[in-house]
């Protein structure tokens, strides 16, 4: 097993962590699974994102949507089919005017204040990346372009989580076409079809086919790779030398939420 092909993690022993919600500010209502990444390949992170995971530095977390107060749905925009709206074009014009002139006209700023705030305050890392295509020679943002035109390998732009119960996060749904990740089957669904369900219930299985299941779910624990006392081994070997009944439940949860694409080349560090 070559190190450059392996992601190395410590999965926190607690089956779930509970904390304050940063969206509704309620105490002990945010439920999530979490783990620490010592090393993470870009491919493994892509697979994890497509199963509802996000990261903050080395800290990885996945909300337990059926329990948490403000369910979080992974959202992505199809950049090859991206359609910029009139209001978004107006906001970008304001930004380009600011970049070229160094100041904003007061009346124009007041007129577009809410849209300006929508992009600069609520966007992750500033202006949302589907529109953050800047020509450094012209010192301006392109208003009629897609990241796919500049970087052909980009097919989707991931905007973190869409939280229907949080008004400040609804702006992400304005980027078209966007899709939400079903928290049960990990399939993608047009946001327009999801919104009626989320109006009825904060948590929803977005997949309409009742027979559809998680095709990437891992149930064979023998495929899980463990680092125990400095030695790498598959779970069945680890289990034979460390017969702790509690481990079975923890490792089943770990295998279920990371999926079969990641498990064979993700190293679980047992502390």
Give this prediction's pTM: 0.79
Do 136 and 108 lie in one domain? The reply is yes
Q: Is residue 61 part of a domain?
A: yes
Do 94 and 38 lie in one domain? The reply is no
Q: How far, CA to CA in Å, does 256 sit from each of 23, 180, 221?
A: 27, 20, 10
Instruction: Indicate the residue among 95, 123, 145 that finishes a domain.
Output: 145
Cβ–Cβ < 8 Å for 16, 181 = no
pLDDT, residue 105, reads 57
Instruction: Indicate the residue among 91, 123, 145 that finishes a domain.
Output: 145
Q: Is residue 208 part of a domain?
A: no
Q: Say how many domains are in the chain.
A: 2
* Residue 44 three-state SS: helix
Q: Is residue 223 part of a domain?
A: yes
CB under 8 Å to 48, separation ≥6 — which residues? Answer: 60, 258, 262
Do 23 and 66 lie in one domain? The reply is yes
Do 38 and 60 lie in one domain? The reply is yes
Do 61 and 114 lie in one domain? The reply is no
pLDDT, residue 246, reads 83
Do 61 and 88 lie in one domain? The reply is no
Instruction: Indicate the residue among 93, 114, 145 that finishes a domain.
Output: 145
Q: Is residue 252 part of a domain?
A: yes
Q: Is residue 172 part of a domain?
A: no
Do 61 and 15 lie in one domain? The reply is yes
Q: Is residue 126 part of a domain?
A: yes
DSSP 76-138: EEETTS-B--HHHHHHHHHHHHHHHHSS--HHHHHHTHHHHHHHHTTSTTSS-GGG--EETTT
pLDDT, residue 38, reads 94
Strands 225-228 and 156-162: unpaired
pLDDT, residue 271, reads 79
Range of the domain at 102: 83-145
pLDDT digits (tens, 9 = 90+) for 39-74: 998 889 999 999 999 999 999 999 999 999 999 999
What is the C-alpha to C-alpha distance for residues 170 and 251, in angstroms, rounded to an integer? 35
Q: Is residue 179 part of a domain?
A: no
Q: Is residue 77 part of a domain?
A: no
Do 39 and 101 lie in one domain? The reply is no
pLDDT, residue 51, reads 96
The ranges of the chain with pLDDT < 70 are 1-5, 14-15, 102-153
């Amino acid at each position: 097993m070559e190190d450059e092909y392996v992601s190395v993690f410590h999965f926190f022993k607690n089956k779930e962590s509970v904390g304050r919600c940063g969206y509704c500010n309620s105490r002990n209502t945010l439920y999530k699974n979490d783990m620490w990444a010592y090393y993470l390949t870009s491919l493994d992170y892509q697979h994890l994102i497509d199963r509802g995971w996000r990261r903050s530095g080395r800290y990885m977390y996945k909300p337990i949507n059926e329990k948490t107060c403000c369910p979080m749905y992974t959202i992505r925009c199809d950049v090859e089919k991206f359609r910029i709206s009139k209001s978004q074009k107006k906001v970008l014009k304001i930004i380009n005017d600011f970049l070229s002139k160094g100041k904003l006209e007061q009346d124009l700023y007041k007129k577009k204040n809410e849209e300006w705030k929508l992009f600069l305050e609520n966007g992750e890392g500033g202006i949302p990346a589907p529109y953050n295509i800047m020509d450094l020679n012209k010192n301006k943002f392109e208003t009629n372009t897609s990241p796919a035109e500049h970087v052909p390998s980009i097919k989707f732009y991931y905007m973190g989580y869409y939280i229907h119960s949080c008004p400040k996060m609804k702006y992400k749904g304005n980027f078209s076409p966007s899709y939400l990740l079903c928290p049960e089957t990990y399939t993608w669904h047009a946001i327009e079809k999801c919104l009626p369900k989320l109006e009825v219930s904060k948590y929803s299985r977005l997949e309409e086919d009742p027979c559809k299941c998680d095709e990437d779910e891992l149930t064979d624990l023998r495929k899980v790779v463990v680092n125990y006392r400095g030695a790498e081994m598959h779970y069945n070997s680890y289990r034979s030398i460390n017969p702790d009944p509690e481990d079975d439940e923890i490792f089943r949860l770990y295998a279920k939420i990371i999926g079969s694409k990641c498990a064979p080349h993700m190293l679980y560090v047992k502390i």
